[in-house]
A and B are shown apart, each in its own frame.
Chain A
Amino acid sequence: MHTSDFRPLDVQAIREDFPIFADTPPLAFLDSAASTQTPRPVVEAMDAYYDTYRSNIHRGIYRISEEATDQYEKARQKVAQLINAPRTSQIVFTRNTTESINLVAYSWGSMNIQQGDEIVLTDLEHHSNLVPWQLLAQRTGATLRFLEITDEGLLDFTQLRDVLSEKTKLVAITHVSNVLGTINPIQSVIDAAHAAGAKVIVDAAQSVPHFHVDVQQLDCDFLAFSGHKMCGPTGVGVLYGKLELLDEMPPFLGGGSMIRSVERDISTYADVPAKFEAGTPSIAEAIGLGATVDYITEAGLASIHVHEQELLKYAHERLQKIEGITIYGPAPHQKAGVVSFNIEGIHPHDVAGILDTHNVAIRAGHHCAQPLMKKLDVIATARASFYLYNTLEDVDRLHEGLQKAQTLMTRRNK
């Protein structure tokens, strides 16, 4: 998984696994930070479940139910290996990153956060790693504190000492900003937080899909990500937690599958991860996520990262030459495959709208990060983001589309 297993991506072969790119000219899909495309092997794994062994898990005493249970649990193993979790039982399947974070905010939060405690966040957080903590703070009387960013869009590390104190109970931080692409130095943040006696939850929605993340090396307490941002299906996400924390936490949702025994007035709960997987889960999607892990591991996360860096550098080079463009965030080597920008005099909606007429898909808006937009002093940005199936031609198409947008929108003097 490290540089030793590096081999350049065979992007053309990869693209053949994605029917959506079969048209000529192909769709230039530059919105993978929102949700990725799905390769055939992932869809086929889900089809196999539906076509040949569809049944509920963990209860049937017949062959196909055992097969379904087996495949569901194998997917959990694969996810555990992907992030190097010590034990498979530390992987909880949820719907998405948002649900994983809410699970921690309710379950761990209800036991561990009290009036006067502090929760430390950063200015880079997606709403899904902000609003759950606002709700927890409102319920408990805790206070939220924020690490700010520098003008380059990097975390202002000098503030860390001032912000952390014995009151800090939790640091909730994104690994990679979905708006600026900034890769946060979370190892240092985790070490500092632990030294202050706080726990750390990492929002890894934009990191696990793009480079190797090792939870044991990081020593993070919780980590959350979504299947749909890593070539997997929608409807399945992951929460990793340290076993001693997960063991002590009360259930989040109550119902079937999460119990050991139930009486009229009281129940005892199953062990993790079942304790946190009440009800019938997204079985096909979890199995699809297992196939996704195989797919990106086979391509090689180191290779994916190098490929995205190449696209990113090329995009910066080309886009910088466009008159009136502002690219937000740090230089390519300090970030993941995301380019947020604005072109003077053209609303980001129009940028995206015009690109769409050239079959180039990018995102425009606040990217679920309104406090960050305020910090950047913009209402919205246009954002292109890359994944393993993108090519240099996609970047050329983006560049060409932007030039056309500029010609169209600035034909006459306003």
Chain B
Amino acid sequence: MNIYQEELLDHYENPSNYGTLPNPDISHEEDNPLCGDKIRIDLIVEDDTIKEVRFSGHGCTISLASASMLTEKIVGKSLEEVKKLSRDDILDMIGIPLGPVRVKCALLALKVLKAGAYGIKGWPGEEDE
């Protein structure tokens, strides 16, 4: 299967929740040192639930599509639920096999989210190694 298939390209071209929030409760930005891709995520949190999310930045198809899909997934979820999202959840969401370099692209958004919301450092899937 090809990584350049419709669904991913749709997210890349018309990303969901793209932009920034004026008064976010949480805002965090990081880059992928391997390629310089950069993603920022802004969140509004009420009663421990994610009410609104925006992401911005620049990157390749995989990193931006992954960010777009992730933001769709987390709105309305509790912080507790979101914290459980794993590397595999993201890779399942992308739904196609990725090489090790592109896996990092796919995980960048989740990494930013977890660092911003929970102060968790490191790449998803590597924190517990």
Contact = CB atoms under 8 A, between A and B. Distances in A.
A354 B13 contact: no
Contacts of A414: 13
B60 A349 contact: yes
B103 to A, nearest CB: 12
Given A357-B2, A412-B13, A350 B61 contact: yes
Given A354-B4, A380-B36, A349 B102 contact: yes
Interface string B69-104: 000000000000000000000000000000001100
A365 B34 CA distance: 7
Contacts of B60: 347-350, 353
Contact of A379 (B3, B9, B58): B58
B35 to A, nearest CB: 5
A412 B101 CA distance: 27
Contact of A366 (B35, B58, B61, B62): B35
Interface string A368-381: 00000100000110
A349 B98 CA distance: 13
Contacts of A408: 4, 9
A189 interface: no
A409 interface: yes
Interface residues of B, number: 17
B35 A365 contact: yes
Nearest to B98: A353
A316 B55 CA distance: 38
Interface size range on A against B: 10 to 19
Most chain B beta carbons < 10 A, residue from A357, A366, A379, A411: A379
A414 B13 CA distance: 6
Interface string B37-63: 100000000000000000000111110
B13 A364 contact: no
Contact of A353 (B13, B36, B102): B102
B15 to A, nearest CB: 10
Interface in A358-394: 364-366, 373, 379-380
Contacts of A357: 2-4
A341 to B, nearest CB: 16
B59 A347 contact: yes
Nearest to A410: B13
Contacts of B3: 353, 357
B35 A379 contact: yes
Contacts of B62: 349, 353
Most chain B beta carbons < 10 A, residue from A350, A364, A373, A409: A350
A304 B34 CA distance: 32
A354 B4 CA distance: 7
B85 to A, nearest CB: 23
Most chain B beta carbons < 10 A, residue from A349, A408, A409: A349
Interface string B1-36: 011100001000100000000000000000000111
B74 to A, nearest CB: 24
B109 interface: no
B105 interface: yes
Nearest to A347: B60
A236 B101 CA distance: 26
Contact of B36 (A350, A366, A411): A366
Contact of A380 (B4, B35, B61, B102): B35
Contacts of A364: 35
A364 B36 CA distance: 11
B59 to A, nearest CB: 6
Contact of B9 (A349, A380, A409): A409
Most chain A beta carbons < 10 A, residue from B3, B58, B60, B105: B60
Given A365-B35, A379-B36, A380-B35, 14 more contacts: A347-B37, A347-B58, A347-B59, A348-B60, A349-B35, A349-B59, A349-B105, A350-B61, A353-B3, A353-B4, A379-B35, A379-B37, A408-B9, A409-B61
Interface of B: 2-4, 9, 13, 34-37, 58-62, 101-102, 105
28 contacts: A347-B58, A347-B59, A347-B60, A348-B35, A348-B60, A349-B59, A349-B62, A349-B101, A350-B4, A350-B60, A350-B61, A353-B4, A353-B61, A353-B62, A353-B102, A357-B3, A357-B4, A365-B34, A365-B35, A366-B36, A373-B36, A379-B35, A379-B36, A379-B58, A380-B36, A408-B4, A409-B9, A411-B9
